[in-house]
Chains A and B, each alone.
Chain A
Amino acid sequence: MVKDSPAKASDPAARSSTNGNVNGHADVVARAIEDNRHLAGALLPILHAIQDRLGFIPPDAARRIAEALNLSHADVQGVISFYHDFRAAPPGRHVLKVCRAEACQAMGAGALEARLKARLGIDFGQTTQDGSLTLEPVYCLGNCALSPACMVDGQLKGRVTADRLDGLLATLEGKS
């Protein structure tokens, strides 16, 4: 059972070691609640703490958080579902967020997006069959003078041409 692992939040290894481990999930949720419940408006910090560790919000987390914060289950579930960031299922080993916003569109993001989906065989919000990569849309990464932009495992990339994107994917495939 993984307990209080010091591994970094964004480290995919930290996620996979707890994936599928119900007790591990429960510990992470309990810890996130304990660390943040003293905050005013604690719900988002708790959810972030869970997703930082697990990569998603496990289905049983809402009820536990609701009990701890004296909220209704519906309140917590409603917050989880409102925000684009929170995932209901574990992501792939890598997460690629592609910017769809106007500045990136002006530099060919649309074609890049289509090429990427075709190459990976998945749509936004999906994970490749081998579990290596989750593709997500994002609406502006604040890198609009170096469009098109994307974010790979939390790392910002700019001037993402088709060639550069192929290179990024090849690097990720090498890693996973």
Chain B
Amino acid sequence: MTAKVYVPRDSAACSVGAEETAKAIARVAAERGLEVDIVRNGSRGMFWLEPLVEVATPNGRVAYGPVAPEDVAGLFEAGFLKAGAHRLCLGPTEEISYLKKQERLTFARVGVTDPLNLAEYEAHGGFRGLRAAIGMSAREIVEEVVRSGLRGRGGAAFPCGIKWRTVLGAPALPKYIACNADEGDSGTFSDRMIMEGDPFLLLEGMTIAGLAVGATKGFIYLRSEYPDAERTLTAAIAAARAAKVLGDDVLGSGRTFDIEIRRGAGAYICGEETAMLESLEGKRGMVRPKPPLPAIEGLFGRPTAVNNVITLASVPVILDKGAKYYADYGRGRSQGTLPFQLAGNIKHGGLVEKAFGLTLRELLYDFGGGSASGRPIRAVQVGGPLGAYLPESRFDTPLDYEAFAAAGGMIGHGGVVVFDDTVDMAQMARYAMEFCAIESCGKCTPCRIGSRRGVEVIDHIRAGRKPAANLALLRDLCDTMTHGSLCAMGGLTPAPVVSALDHFPEDFGVSPSGKVS
């Protein structure tokens, strides 16, 4: 009998040797005359265990990891194809507590299936949401998404259904779906994992969005830093067209929807929706003033639903299982689940999809297991480079949009970057300004010039030049950037800077009592 072995094709898994491990398994199996079917799945999102190899058994899949190529011979020796005991054996995959404690709605298939196997996608619930949507009117689809409480997962958390309602109501034609796959925040990789690990899910979500707002064309604006995702998505789109999921007769409905990938070119600002639209139009990624809203005048001046990958990938389950099923997860106005991403100096880094409402502390310690270095966790940046740095005293804040904002934070795209006690927070504040200076589109002065002055002022403070005056100047500058910038780039760059100043003043030479040394 042919044994079935799973080795992830996810680029992160391959970045630590999954490709070599897969080759070693094929080679040793051939040497031993064993027939092995190696499936290249997505990653389960437990990156400290990558390359994570799984074996199918009559009692479910059993995991081994991390498996280096040199471990493979020993695994065969231990009879791992029949789930034999070995020091790398982790037991049944689904029983690993990191996975077992999660609530995977959006990521239900990631790591389970072969990302490019359309039949397997359908067998695991794929296209049920789209089929349901085909039987509904555009208005009904939109209202179902409104009722689910789904909010934009890219960072701004705007209610998705309300945005779609605006696009649906806009009279101009044609309309577009623009998927923002410019996942530039440090500490985030959930978009990448969906695109590499379950690409049909994104295509399904975009197609539903098209039916909902009356768009027949979708664009995926994909960052150039994700070449593997581009290859996988390209293959998935070709397969979906061949199977008549995309094209002029979506699943036999007579409806039209097609998708084109457009590659970004290394500009962080193009993750801002209006800059992304400019870039899609072939221009410099300069931010547009709002209004007009993209929902009314977006891509090529037409009504456009701009949504993040995770937002769109969360739509199929809502249409499949109903708005209430989804809305029953979460708390308050933060309904459903969010794929959090644990990154940086963390022992068990990876993807944790949970309903809103767990605390940062649970995420950092129950899932993350503390820092990778073993030293105390000193600061955590949630929500990417424009998110605040939070000290230990804020770790018990529940992760929902409102509660987290009240504690001075921003959930954003769900990235959590962990720093141990060796971090220099004045250096991190400087980096925040430097990053803004490098990535600013240059359209508004507070962002373009303010970020450069910010770097200089922090350099003065760190060098001990007129610290009191320069600290006051830095806060004043941050105030100007916050209130005077055109978009979130300049408007939120002060968040990491001011939070570093507030919570870690000693790193700027200020005593906790406020005295400048």
Contacts and interface: CB of A to CB of B under 8 A. Distances in A.
Interface in B316-350: 341-346, 349-350
Interface in B275-308: 279-285, 300
A83 B4 CA distance: 44
A79 B282 contact: yes
Nearest to A97: B225
Given A83-B265, A101-B385, A146 B187 contact: no
Given A143-B11, A146-B50, A103 B186 contact: yes
B237 to A, nearest CB: 15
Contacts of A39: 260
A48 interface: yes
Of the candidates B14, B266, B280, the one having the most CB atoms from chain A within 10 angstroms of its own CB is B266
Contacts of B263: 44-45, 48
Contact of B265 (A42, A44, A158): A44
Interface string A103-123: 111110000000000000000
Interface in A112-137: none
B12 A83 contact: no
A125 to B, nearest CB: 12
Contacts of A146: 12, 15-16, 47, 50, 349
Contacts, number: 156
Given A144-B189, A146-B47, A158-B15, A44 B344 contact: no
B188 to A, nearest CB: 7
Interface string B388-429: 000000000000000000000000000101111001000010
A44 B262 contact: yes
A106 B192 contact: no
B226 interface: yes
B228 interface: yes
Of the candidates A42, A102, A104, the one having the most CB atoms from chain B within 10 angstroms of its own CB is A102
A39 B262 CA distance: 10
A47 B265 contact: yes
Interface stretch (A16-24, A27-35, A88-96, A149-157): A149-157
B93 interface: no
A139 to B, nearest CB: 6
Interface residues of A, number: 43
A133 B119 CA distance: 44
Contacts of A159: 15-16
Interface residues of B, number: 62
Contacts of B419: 106
B11 A156 contact: yes
A86 B47 CA distance: 32
Nearest to A139: B268
Interface in B358-389: 372, 381, 385
A52 B132 CA distance: 41
Interface string B243-280: 00000000000000000101111111000000000011
B491 to A, nearest CB: 19
Contact of B192 (A104, A142, A147): A142
Given A83-B266, A84-B266, A107-B344, A102 B12 contact: no
B353 interface: no
Contact of B189 (A47, A86, A145): A145
Contacts of B48: 145
B204 interface: no
Contacts of A42: 282
A41 interface: yes
A139 B435 contact: yes
A149 B428 contact: no
Nearest to B286: A82
A54 interface: no
Contacts of B12: 142-143, 145-146, 156, 158
Contacts of B279: 44
B190 to A, nearest CB: 9
B144 interface: no
A14 interface: no
A140 interface: yes
Nearest to B261: A45
A107 B372 contact: yes
6 contacts: A48-B265, A105-B344, A106-B417, A139-B439, A142-B191, A144-B344
Interface of A: 39-45, 47-48, 69, 75, 78-79, 82-86, 101-107, 138-147, 149, 151, 154-159
The 4 closest A-B pairs by CB, nearest first: A145-B349, A43-B282, A144-B343, A101-B186
